[in-house]
Structure 1
């Protein structure tokens, strides 16, 4: 009788499988992780640059963006590209957001949505240590200037009377040209200039004059993506409340914001 009962149970199981198409039920699909593709120009230390040893993208902007993504529940993937190609890449949908020490300007705001400002900066001048002729922006008239293409430094340099402006893809290239004697000065954001001198050229170069103006950096999204910029703003607010923003700031600038 036990054998008959076992045989009947086996037949019933086979019948049930046949009724289900002979295939076991598939497990529920795992929810796809949310990914935020972020563009940057990784040649703008200390905000974004490539570590020489690990080859990873590091910097204040990178740490901040990863913290923003974590706060939002997103995995952040960084893509490096030329600074002047960042907004076009955003408009084409190749990236979801960008962070690259980008100054919030009315002209750029026509093309993208900017987050709340996350950093205040200003333009400054770097000259060789033995240069005592250039002491302010007025003294740049008629001089040879190096800038990073697409930046506010490039925009301001082009306004200098009779100046010859040479544009480079990255800030390090502009500094190398100064060191080689190809230009008289570099015009770029103050923290970038200070970082260069502290890390590479303390004996060869110096920052001169007062910052030209006050600039604010923002994270950007495509103009139509208002939902994402709202989430980013909310995340920035939370990071400032919970102290994470301050930790990142102190890590890269050695002082509190």
Structure 2
């Protein structure tokens, strides 16, 4: 999945040291990070607080991965900080806790653990989704961790490290009153997506081809600047369906107090998702090594389970995996 301009960027810096992690990593609830002041808007009403945390003992005990550290590019190693761009409005991957300040979620916990294994402090910068990849090229961030779908077009711009599997699903009002699915039932229908996402640039055009072939009107697309706006558009009637990453959609539905459900039907565009790094920087290889350690010792799996993403777990942190 995916999501424009830096005038929407919301900066929230979180610095996490390896020492602090060794003392306080109760993982999966974000409690190991401390947030600086933030002017970020409230998260969607569909986003609940973090699930109860139960971190694996290995997460605190494993310590620094010397082999992964040896792969860190000189500039990052010298300043000791990994600066990560993340849209902190996309539960359960990254969103704000009930204090409306502290970032929590699967992406936050994985990035925190990865930085710990690399012996780096973690700084998370809350950013508009579709500003993250361009900001890697300008060296504003050293990584982007925000549930990016791996696509050939993006691989021309950045290096990927695979860390989850997912696809697209449709979020609708409970009962699915218009009997919608991710097919030609969307022709002429008000459909909300995040601006710059694969839902906007891949899924919508693919369905529109089928609409054209069937002699039907194209989808009426509502492209929104932030993922937190999607359930609000559905609830208000601005959209009849929202196309989202399957993990995000399931989380919103489960925490909507019965307001939303996932439309029936298979996922579209199923495949790997990855962290992103500046092309050719060498940071992807270091991140891959650290993440593979988290996978092998069970830390990564425990985080995925805690955030309800068990079905999207991967076994290999591949650099630049091809989407098959």
Map residues 101-120 of structure 1 onto 2, 5 A cutoff.
101-115=147-161, 117-120=162-165
Deviation at 1:132, TM superposition (A): 4.2
Distance 1:72 1:174, change over 3 A: same
Note the alpha carbon deviations across 1:218-243, whole angstroms, 9 max, x for none: 111111302x1111010111111111
Q: Which residue of 2 aligns with 1:207?
A: 262
1:119-142, CA deviations, whole angstroms, 9 ceiling, x for partnerless residues?
Answer: 000001111124142134221111
The secondary structure found in structure 2 opposite 1:100 is strand
Q: 1:181 to 1:101 in 2, by over 3 A?
A: same
Per the alignment, residue 198 of structure 1 pairs with 254
Q: CA deviation at 1:150?
A: 1.0
5 Å-filtered alignment, 1:1-257, equals: 34-53=80-99, 55-115=101-161, 117-130=162-175, 131-155=177-201, 156-159=203-206, 160=208, 161=211, 162-200=218-256, 202-208=257-263, 209-226=265-282, 228-253=283-308, 255=310, 257=313
Tell me if structure 2 keeps the 8 A contact 1:40–1:98. Answer: yes
Runs of 4+ aligned structure 1 residues displaced above 4 Å come to none
**Is contact 2:107–2:146 with CA below 8 Å preserved after alignment?**
yes
Deviation at 1:32, TM superposition (A): 7.0
Between the aligned partners of 1:122 and 1:199, the Cα distance in structure 2 is: 20
> Highest CA radius of gyration, 1 or 2?
1
Cα displacement (A) at 1:48: 0.5
Q: How many residue pairs get matched?
A: 224
User: Post-superposition shift, 1:215?
Assistant: 2.3
Q: What is the rounded CA distance, in whole Å, between the counterparts of 1:142 and 1:220 in structure 2?
A: 35
Deviations 1:2-53 (A, max 9, x none): xxxxxxxxxxxxxxxxxxxxxxxxxxxxx97610000011111100011122
- 2:182 and 2:128 map into 1 onto residues whose CA distance is 29
Bigger RCO of structures 1 and 2 (CA < 8 A, at least 6 apart): 2
The CA distance in 1 between the partners of 2:180 and 2:199, in whole Å, is 17
- Worse overlay, 52-61 or 153-162: 153-162
Contact 1:33 1:75 in 2 (8 A): no
Measure, in 2, the Cα distance between the counterparts of 1:236 and 1:112.
18
Instruction: Could you tell me which runs of 5 or more consecutive residues in structure 1 were left unpaired when the two chains were aligned.
Output: 1-30
CA distance in structure 1 between the aligned counterparts of 2:113 and 2:154, rounded to whole angstroms: 25
- Give the TM-score taking structure 1 as reference length: 0.82
Structure 2 unaligned residues grouped into runs of 5+: 1-76, 212-217, 314-324
Matches of 2:130 and 2:178, distance apart in 1: 33
Q: Which structure shows the bigger proportion of residues in helix conformation?
A: 1
Query: Quick check: 2:247–2:309 contact (8 Å CA) kept in 1?
Result: no
Change (3 A) 1:191 1:133: same
1:233–1:32: structure 2 CA closer, same or farther, 3 Å change rule? Answer: closer
